[in-house]
């Protein structure tokens, strides 16, 4: 009877372990080539999620917004090891597969800004900027859908979540738009982060960036205050004893040189 109880207890523990392990594994992020990244998942609802660096802002269009000027966009990683889920980013998936990829603005003067992955080149004939190569082939410029900042994760981990809002689908992405907590606003133009770099950011986006920068400064200041401070005297000194004896020092040895006496000194 005792053996059956022991086996039953072990079976229960193994069952619980099997439930826990997939949950922990789902929180890991991977680059397109399968390498594990240090990014943070942007959603923790148990489903596949795109990931961004802890110092960046997660966006609902599956991209990341850097807090370093000029606040550029990038493709991060994904919790799906094989990148087959529709929740993984499709933009710049084939570019720089062993790490994140920059989403570089190509033309932001018109109503529909266009972007490239990683780099731009100058056409030697026309002088116009063109997209660089990905896997040996020239890129085709693409557009980026608007996205909203996702509070509570990555750089906005300390920002309180608001009500749910649905993001716009990414161009050429047929997956169901992801619903997540976002910052609310009475004006829809303020909620959407401008489609990339080179166009004005919405008020809410600026607030998100301001909050994240403030959090970064606060953490940096806390780390500086935690470091020990060493105080040293400006000039070296020696203590004076009570009998006002400032110490005894020996004089250097002095050897007199021989000198000849003249005749007057000898007679005297």
Higher pLDDT, 251 or 149: 149
Outline where DSSP puts E strands in 108-202: 114-117, 120-122, 129-131, 133-134, 137-138, 164-166, 179-181
Burial of 127 (0-12, 13-18, 19+ CB in 10 A): exposed
Which contiguous run of DSSP H or E holds residue 264?
Answer: helix 263-267
CA–CA separation, 208 and 103 (whole Å): 20
Higher pLDDT, 71 or 213: 71
CA–CA separation, 156 and 204 (whole Å): 13
pLDDT tens profile 98-121: 999 999 999 888 888 999 999 899
Predicted confidence at residue 167, as pLDDT, reads: 39
Predicted confidence at residue 267, as pLDDT, reads: 55
Confidence of residue 17 (pLDDT cuts 50, 70, 90): very low
Predicted confidence at residue 203, as pLDDT, reads: 41
Reported as half-sphere exposure (CB side, CA atoms, 13 A), residue 179 has a value of 4
In percent, how much of the chain has pLDDT > 70? 50
pLDDT tens profile 157-191: 887 655 444 333 333 333 344 554 434 333 433 33
Angle at 144 between CA 142 and CA 147, to 5 degrees: 170
- The shares of helix, strand and coil residues in the chain, as percent rounded to the nearest 5, are 25, 20, 60
What's the rounded mean pLDDT across residues 40-54? 94
Token digits of residue 259: 């000198």
Higher pLDDT, 175 or 83: 83
Predicted confidence at residue 110, as pLDDT, reads: 81
Angle at 165 between CA 162 and CA 171, to 5 degrees: 140
């Amino acid at each position: 009877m005792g053996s059956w109880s022991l086996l039953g207890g072990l079976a229960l523990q193994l069952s619980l372990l099997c439930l826990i392990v997939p949950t922990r594994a789902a929180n890991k992020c991977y680059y397109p080539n399968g390498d594990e990244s240090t990014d943070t998942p942007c959603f923790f609802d148990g489903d596949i999620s795109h990931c961004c660096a802890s110092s960046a802002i997660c966006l609902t269009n599956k991209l990341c917004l850097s807090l370093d000027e000029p606040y550029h966009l990038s493709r991060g990683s994904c919790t799906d090891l094989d990148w087959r889920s529709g929740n993984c980013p499709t933009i710049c998936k084939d570019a720089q597969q062993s790490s994140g990829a920059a989403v570089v603005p190509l033309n932001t003067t018109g109503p529909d800004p266009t972007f490239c992955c990683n780099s731009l080149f100058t056409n030697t004939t026309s002088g116009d900027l063109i997209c660089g190569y990905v896997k040996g082939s020239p890129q085709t410029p693409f557009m980026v859908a608007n996205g909203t900042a996702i509070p509570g994760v990555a750089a906005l981990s300390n920002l309180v979540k608001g009500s749910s809002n649905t993001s716009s689908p990414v161009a050429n992405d047929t997956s169901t738009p992801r619903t997540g907590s976002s910052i609310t606003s009475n004006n829809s133009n303020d909620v959407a982060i401008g489609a990339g770099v080179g166009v004005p950011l919405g008020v809410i986006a600026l607030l998100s960036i301001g909050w994240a920068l403030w959090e970064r400064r606060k953490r940096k200041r806390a780390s500086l205050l935690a470091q020990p401070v060493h105080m040293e005297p400006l000039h070296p000194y020696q203590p004076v004893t009570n009998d006002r004896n400032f110490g005894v020092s020996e004089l250097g040895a002095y050897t007199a040189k021989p000198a000849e006496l003249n005749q007057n000194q000898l007679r005297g």
